[in-house]
Amino acid sequence: AQSVTQLDSQVPVFEEAPVELRCNYSSSVSVYLFWYVQYPNQGLQLLLKYLSGSTLVKGINGFEAEFNKSQTSFHLRKPSVHISDTAEYFCAVSAPETGANNLFFGTGTRLTVIP
């Protein structure tokens, strides 16, 4: 079975500072990894995904993530955050080899950007 751990439930950071949101996964098969963002009272929006190939993945809004198979991690980073980045961020994993396209989500990290 697949699972996702987001170690930090809340991350406060000052505007224009860099940020890293951590995500670790566990799976016995190869996985696909995703980061979604959820703004208040809205649905989830895909930031980026890793399916195969280059381990450094670039997404929307200046975010990027690096897949590290040996550490089973997929941390999300942004070099300089903006107030508008304040939101909940979810890491998710899918294991298509299991025959399902289900997404398993972590519990989320609330990013608060401080002016």
Residues that bind other proteins (CB under 8 A): 4, 9, 32, 36, 41-46, 49, 51, 90, 94, 96, 100-103, 105-108
> Is the CB of 15 or the CB of 105 nearer to other proteins?
105
Question: For residues 21 and 36, is the Cβ–Cβ distance under 8 A?
Answer: no
Q: How far is the CB of 80 from other proteins (least distance, A)?
A: 26
Give the integer Cα–Cα distance in Å for 30 and 95.
6
Amino acid at 35: W
Q: How far is the CB of 92 from other proteins (least distance, A)?
A: 8
> Is the CB of 53 or the CB of 115 nearer to other proteins?
53
Give the integer Cα–Cα distance in Å for 110 and 11.
6
Give the integer Cα–Cα distance in Å for 53 and 68.
12
> Is the CB of 12 or the CB of 96 nearer to other proteins?
96
> Is the CB of 45 or the CB of 80 nearer to other proteins?
45
Question: For residues 35 and 89, is the Cβ–Cβ distance under 8 A?
Answer: yes
